Structure 1
Amino acid sequence: MTAEHSDASAATEDGQVARPPGPTPSRLAIDATGLMFWPPGEGLAGIPRVESFLVNAALADPDPSVEVVAFRSGRFRPLAAYEQDHVAAGDISVHRVKRWPGRHMALSQAFETVRQQPWERGTDRHLAKTVTNGREGIAYQATRLLIRAYRLYRRARAWAWSGLRGYAPAPLAETEPGLVLISHHILTHEDRSAVSGTAGKLAFLCHDIIPQLRPDLLGTSGGEGRYGSYLEQLERSGAPAFCASNEVGATLTDHMREAGIATPVVYRFPMPSILHANASRAGTTSRIESGEPFVLYCSTIEVRKNHILLARVWQQAREEGVKLPRLICAGRWGWMIEPLRAYLKAHPELLQSVTFTGLVSDEQLIRYYRSATFGVFPSHIEGWGYGASECLDFGVPVIVSTAPSLIEASGGMMPAIDSNDQAGWYAAIRRMAEDHDWRSSLVERIARQHRPTPPSASWAAIKAGLQASVSRASNA
């Protein structure tokens, strides 16, 4: 681990103004801030899964112009050793691996950082964690107090020299940053400086613009409310967007045009088949038969995902004496689900044929995909729809809603029904369950027309887009 450097200037004992050199900025940086807030060891899904792929692709890339950073104390900074350990899911390139130097050396480096930047606020907590290698407890608290005391001492000493020699602390100077592909966390949290302090030097993954299109499906989250404001601010600064679906890119362009903002620069990248890649490494992609046929819906349980439509379909089947395969809903419970809970409470017998698993491990999810009879994805609106494309990765036919991104994610090969058409979904689910020939024809179509996307191909596309953005900026 190396000590952090600041652009702050401070008067020293010999009356000179100290301007410690900052690290040479990377041309390309992937932001890991969102992953730093994710509990270690907890399964990843959706946006966090994609961001984990990006961070780990960057960590494994031997190209020294690629860096992984986190937003701390008003700047994007390279990860400390304990932060790399927190986010790493594979090998880290030797070009950027950081080893914890031990408590004594880490404390010495923390003191040196404070000596060079006594005016920097908000770094004491991070420096204390570098000394304890991310561990919290009595040692961490004591270290933080010690660093804080030393900072106060250095400030007092610098002010004393400033008064005696007629010097004052110089204002902060901004380091020229590289182009940073920011995490979703930056777009939904309160620190506006994260999107304004380095205007024109940021890029972002645009998973969707659902907060602007369907705010009624997102509740009253302050973070989602900030999303639209930050998005427009980024686009006004010229930040390029990276979209997994053509639909999201087109929708983003239309939205910005309506807001009076110039047409954004949009890069399309193929969504990586992360789960299938994990299964391939483990040799667990082949089909396995389950003891009981079942239908799979892999998604967070929230109002937008429309689980209540499936509950009504399975209840209708029960009332008509039709036996459908068990429905397995894999995913964590989310928000605005009171109507679904009320429906399940009013029809308790549904739980005999519908299972809510909660969050599952990748290993369990792979087993579900390998043995599912078919999948369903009736979401009202999507940016991509990972559960749909993952079904295809494992050769499982899936019924999707007519949301354009879902049709795109399933290659236009699968049956699509309007998300509000209960009768249409009931008929399609019955046919998929009962018509073996039709289901087999869809399986054959997947085998002929679909190939999982290697994560390396997705990383190459994103990296190429970032490099193109850097070239465009330097030639402007």
Structure 2
Amino acid sequence: MAESAMRIIFDVSRLVRRGHLPAPTGIDRVEHEYLDHLLAQGRYDVAFEAFVPPGQWVSLSRTAVLGLAQASRHRWGKGSAPGSLFATLRHFRPIRTAGWGRGAAPTLFLTVSHARAQATAQWRRRADRCGGKLCYFIHDLIPIEYPEYARAKDAEVNRARISSAAAMADGLLVNSDSTARSVTRFRGSHNIPPIATLPFGLTLREPGHRPTDLPERLRGRPYFLVLGTIEPRKNHLLLLKLWREMAHSSDGEAMPLLVLAGRRGWENDNILAMIDRSPALKDVLVELRTPSDAMLHRLMIDARALLAPSFAEGFDLPVAEALAYGCPVLASDIPAHHEVGGTAPLYLHPLDARGWTDAVQDFARPDSALRQRHLQATRAWRPAHWDDHFSRLTKFLEQL
């Protein structure tokens, strides 16, 4: 490693904070793709830090980060829960800032994990001391633009987080033009640092054999898949009402199933009441709270379609993953979905209950010509590639 090589300090706070959980979010997956890239390349001198209670950055060795990442992936693959988060504490080392003066090698602080304002401010001070730069990935501004879909406390936290990122970072990364426009609207006439739009790639793994933990009810019966945390923004309520109405008006045994794959989130009492207590949904609804990656891949391959009726998204990885596995998609007609899916999905307004009902009933038929057309469009769809993502990232970081 040449002495003049750029030094990248990468934020692994999310890995430390969430690595013990049995299933990942989209941001968790993105952080792991960045980890794989940084660990595999020889271009930069990479170090790893995490922001931990009561509010300080600590360093982790390369070996520790590798071990934590591998343990996380093992849990995701099994869809099972964990050991204790506190087992990671033995890996922490305090940051010694005494020697953080300006040096020959440029230093870049990089976070893709929604670092909070306090953490960003501390990194900014250290970057200033060493003549370094700070680069921040903004995945979305949904809690700010649509606070009605978030917990009440989240809007202010996220407003402070995005404000600090836009004010203190030397460069911003976003996943879509839609997110870039949101950042510009949020900042208004204030100065905005350079922004790089880097769509996410896909890492597709061979689904292999049918998972042994696949629910018996799904074997040999048509179903539609919804993937994501159960929260108001994802618009589960539309689909639950749709399935309830279909159940009331048809033979339950002939109906397709609705499969909800994802943990239970927040502000969702009315949604959960329908899931837990609606008699009409009892025989047509399957809830999978922590499905393994292998199960998710198989579910996508065998589904009549992935349903994505969200009111707002920054990117929506499940739409891209479903299309990549050859699964047709019914998606809400929002900018982020068009950026990800192009012409492959069937787009519907998120409040068009009649339209969603007609589309689901059509796609459920074995001889559906509409589904066949979208299957063909799905086969022609091409995902973004991580190689391109990281090539563009490298150019952007070096320009900073």
TM-score (norm 1): 0.69
Residue aligning to 1:445: 377
User: In structure 1, what is the equivalent of residue 279 of structure 2?
Assistant: 348
For 1:465, the equivalent position in structure 2 comes to: 396
User: Does residue 86 of structure 1 match 2:18?
Assistant: no
Greater C-alpha Rg? 1
Q: Is the 8 A contact 1:28 1:179 kept in 2?
A: yes
In structure 1, distance between residues paired with 2:89 and 2:263: 34
| Alpha-carbon distance between aligned partners in 1 of 2:176 and 2:310, rounded to the nearest angstrom | 16
Quick one: which amino acid aligns to residue 436 of structure 1? S
Q: CA deviation at 1:357?
A: 0.5
Name the CA distance, whole Å, in 1 between partners of 2:87 and 2:98. 20
In 2, Cα distance between the equivalents of 1:443 and 1:128? Answer: 48
* Structure 2 residue identity aligned to 1:31: D
The C-alpha deviation readout for 1:264-311, integer Å capped at 9, x for no partner, is: 41111121213x2x228x699xxxx95111111111111111111110
* Alignment CA distance shift 1:40-1:344 (3 Å): closer
Give the aligned residue type for 2:206: A
1:127 and 1:363 map into 2 onto residues whose CA distance is 26
Shift of 1:238: 4.5
2:20 corresponds to 1:36: no
- Distance (whole Å) between structure 1 residues aligned to residue 98 and residue 28 of structure 2: 33
The answer as to 2:90 corresponding to 1:129 is yes
Show the counterpart of 2:190. 261
Contact 1:401 1:407 in 2 (8 A): no
Contact 1:253 1:264 (C-alpha < 8 Å) held by counterparts: no
Does the Cα contact within 8 Å between 1:205 and 1:242 map onto a contact in 2? yes
- Structure 1 stretches of 5 or more lacking a match? 1-22, 91-124, 135-143, 148-170, 470-476
Q: Which letter maps to 2:138?
A: C
Cα gap change, 1:292 to 1:126, in 2 (>3 Å): closer
> Shift in Å at residue 126 of structure 1?
11
Asked if 1:338 corresponds to 2:255, the answer is no
Written as runs of structure 1 = structure 2, the 5 A alignment for 1:63-462 is: 63-71=43-51, 74-75=56-57, 77=59, 79=61, 81-88=63-70, 129-130=90-91, 172=98, 174-176=100-102, 178-187=107-116, 191=119, 193-194=121-122, 196-197=124-125, 198=127, 201-222=133-154, 224-257=155-188, 260-274=189-203, 276=204, 278-279=205-206, 291-321=220-250, 323-434=254-365, 436-448=368-380, 450-462=381-393
Equivalent residue number for residue 122 of structure 1: none
2-side partners of 1:283 and 1:360: how far apart?
15
Q: Which runs of 4+ in 1 moved over 6 A?
A: 125-128
Partner of 2:77: none
2:28 aligned to which of 42, 45, 48: 48
Secondary structure at the counterpart of residue 229 of structure 2: coil
CA distance in 2, matches of 1:359, 1:402: 28
Deviation at 1:179, TM superposition (A): 1.4
Q: 1:43 to 1:347 in 2, by over 3 A?
A: closer
2:194 & 2:164 partners in 1: Cα distance? 14
Relative distance call for 1:279 and 1:175 in structure 2 (3 A) is farther
Whichever residue aligns with residue 239 of structure 2, its letter is L
Give the conservation status (yes or no) of the 8 Å contact 1:301–1:335. Answer: yes
Contact 1:33 1:185 in 2 (8 A): no
Q: Match for 1:30: what amino acid?
A: F
Would the aligned equivalents of 1:385 and 1:406 in 2 still touch at CA under 8 Å?
yes
Cα distance per residue 1:283-341 (max 9 Å; x no partner): 99xxxx95111111111111111111110000111122275411111111111110112
Distance 1:319 1:186, change over 3 A: same
Distance 1:183 1:244, change over 3 A: closer
2:68 counterpart letter in structure 1: H
Aligned length in residues: 365
Q: Using a 3 Å threshold, how does the CA distance of structure 1 residues 192 and 51 change in structure 2: closer, same or farther?
A: closer
CA distance in 2, matches of 1:300, 1:207: 16
Change in 2 beyond 3 A, CA 1:432/1:128: closer
Q: Deviations over 1:234-260 (max 9, x none)?
A: 222343221121111122122212xx3
**1:56–1:89 Cα contact (<8 Å) kept:** no
Q: How much has 1:76 moved relative to structure 2?
A: 6.5
Gapped runs of 5+ residues in structure 2?
A: 73-85, 211-217
In structure 2, the CA distance between the partners of 1:126 and 1:331, relative to structure 1 (3 Å rule), is closer
Q: TM-score, normalised by structure 2?
A: 0.81
Give the 3 Å change call, closer, same or farther, for CA 318–127 of structure 1 in structure 2: closer
Is residue 270–residue 457 contact of structure 1 (8 Å, CA) maintained in 2?
no
Amino acid at match of 2:144: Q
Distance in 2 between the 1:392 and 1:370 partners? 9
The structure 1 residue matched to 2:39, chosen from 38, 43, 59, is 59
Contact 1:211 1:218 in 2 (8 A): yes
Shift of 1:63: 2.0
Q: Percent identity?
A: 23
Q: Secondary structure at the match of 1:352?
A: coil
Note if contact 2:136-2:169 (Cα within 8 Å) is conserved in structure 1.
no
